[in-house]
Structure 1
Amino acid sequence: MLQQLKKHTNKLLLILLLLSAQILITLALGESKQWQEVDWLDIAGEGGAVWLCMVWLIVLLASRPHGPVTSLLFWGFSCFLIASGQDLLDEFIRLPDATIWSHAVESIPMPIGMLLMSIGLLHWYREQQALNEQLLKRERGNRDHRRLDKITGLADAHYLRTQLSIELKKARAEGLPTSILMLDIDEFRNFNRRLGIAEGDRLLSELTELILLNLRRRDLLCRYAGDRFAIVMPATCQEMAVLVAQQLEDVCRHFAFRARNNDSAQFHTVSTAVATDGLDASIEESYVVDKLLERANYGLAKAKERRSLKVA
């Protein structure tokens, strides 16, 4: 929490500066009220509003990274805080009747803050929708918690085989093809050797999120082995699976990974291969699973071989 707050030091200093200026100007232009003039009920309500605004500001900055949504929410809360703070100061300080700026500070920031908060919350809602979509894509891989990979949070090869068999049976009953897509990170061993295993684990984790964002909800992503991923694609023909494979290659190629011990961006290519069920209902699902995985792995080996020759 403290580490995240440090990233927003400038924002915290700015709001403290504005609040300090607000207090000093009010004290300079007004005079303190007598204790019998103070309405403690108003102070409790307005003070509570100020306190809650400050708490929410800190929670916001401690829980979110830099970005436009964070800025919109921050300035929205700040407007509430400034307006509520002036209301609270007016309970202790009497300003001359001719003072207009005090009423302006109480009134103008509030609707501005409401507008900024509304826009920020709309974008936040869209963020949550995207995150929920990603979590739904993970859900199929979370059914057997004993087989979750600790690095990527994905299910393993055993779970993949089980689900592939289920999807094949279901697809054949409906007369639909099932495809499997294999994806492997190129030169991953060299990356580990240069930057360390910890950075390799980070790369696997971040690529997992990237791949999930670019899959359909019904697709199942698993960590097949090492830096190799497998995707079960129900109701997907060979042509569509190849198109998805090409899209994933493009997305991964443009993904800039920044290692903690190296400031320069690292770009990685991936190799892919696709295998599709031939819809021969006379062949048992377990045999088809073996053959599909065998064909996909063979195709992936050939793809990596072609890529290495091209690089050479």
Structure 2
Amino acid sequence: MTSRFSPLRVFLAATVILVSLGLYVVANAIQFASDYRMVTHTYDVLRTLDHIESLKHQAVAESRGYLLAGRADNRDNFWRIGGELQREADLLAERVVDNPPQHERAVALRRALDARLRLSVQAMQSRTPGEAASGTAATIVTAVRSGDADVARRLEQLRMAENQLLSKRSARAERSAWLTLFAAGVGIPLSLMLIGYAQRRLARENRDRKVAERAASASNTELNATVEQLARLSDSMAALSQYSGMLQGASDAQELYEITATTFRQLLPGMGGLLYVIRASRDHAELVAQWGGAVAPNDPAPALQACWSVRRHAPFAMEDLRHGLRCSHIGRPHGAEDVHGLCVPLSAHGEVVGWLSLQGEGRGRIPDESLAIRLCEQLSLALANVRLRESLRHQAVRDPLTGLFNRRYLEESLAREIARCQRRGQPLAVLMLDVDHFKLFNDRHGHAMGDAALSAFARMLKTRCRPEDIACRYGGEEFTLILPETDLATALERAEDIRAGAAMLRIGDPGASMLRITVSIGVALMPEHGDVGLELMRAGDQALYRAKHEGRDRVAVADGRVAAAV
């Protein structure tokens, strides 16, 4: 019995358990890193799909703009966007080459995109200069819709497959983290129990051998340090994995700030934190999140050069804020206690987007500094991704020239506002606006001056909109204004105000001759002229055409009533 459970064998068993546990943790860490790379790869593929879809919509919009207005810049933009769309489709095929089914779908998507672009090219080539559109363009509407549906279906197939892969890979990474925690939770206590048992045996059997007892104590201390190090490594990896997953699921920047504050408060207790984000103007930063107790005064809107970590593009540790070198956005601490701190820059894609400042009582470096730096690396990437998504979302619904909503947003919003007004029993007015003789204005003064005229009119239109109104650029020189909960009399008053505001606009440089424009406006009302968006817009178009036919620079109502121009 004594031979089977000798202290030496017990220590050997504990060592085997610890080594096995360490190898298992390392293997799981390698597997986790591989899963994380695959998850990142999946996100890259999804972002590429979103970019392809956005470029496709932009290319279609430019081709339609050319068909409607015949503007050369629409045609040039179409060729540029079409080339970029083909390059993105090729890049997508390269990224999924390791997945044969996805690669086949990507190749099929490239063919569908090429076919759709060819339809747009045929439509633009069939357009006769000086005319709105040719008869040939009208005959390919069915083919265009079929091509759009085919591209949308293939994009959705690719996106669904990638989302399935993302779910599997994320689940595998989470399973690896939990298995690591389970192994550590079982192996470490078992090892400690074996070590404790061996210590008791050694204390009983070696009372007279002091030298051997000291050697055993030293060995025990070393093993305990190893166990603690493995436990800290496991905890850090689990915390980093959880933080990264939560950041990837954040929908906007505010959620990122809240997740960051909560995570740092849990992982670095007793440390105060301040998160600064650089504004778009790049002239100063603003404080967007704060947690923990403030141990030193801080500037809520510091300049970029106020932080040493931003200057050096590297973490900057401050071991004594009271007497040592510190960032200028941190004031001298109050009271008599010593304070130390750390500033970490937040940079992604080669650009600094902000920094994180940590402060705690005492001198020296903060505990778990490497963990704080790794958390900041995850925050930097997540913040850059959120900004990119917000930028793409803005580009998808806004017209780049005027800043108004585009036609796609108009169609979605009009249906929503009609349903809302119907539920409330309120009217809704639709104004169709068109700049008079805009083609002649473009031909006489150039496209640059035409763009300036459209931009000036859009700015004026924004100033005459309520917060609940929706102003959109329908296409070319045509605009649409949705007025929820507005009756006919109010709609006519608003339309006349817009018409008069357009007539007072002056286009051009102040030193040169100022140009003028006028607009014609058609007014349609729900439910008098229709209760669906297409009917209202068609009624507004008919009124707009009548206003142009009767002399332009006036307001016309869909049922034939015309408001006298001031």
TM-score in terms of structure 1 length:
0.49
TM-score, length-scaled by structure 2: 0.27
Greater gyration radius: 2
User: Which structure: greater helix fraction?
Assistant: 1
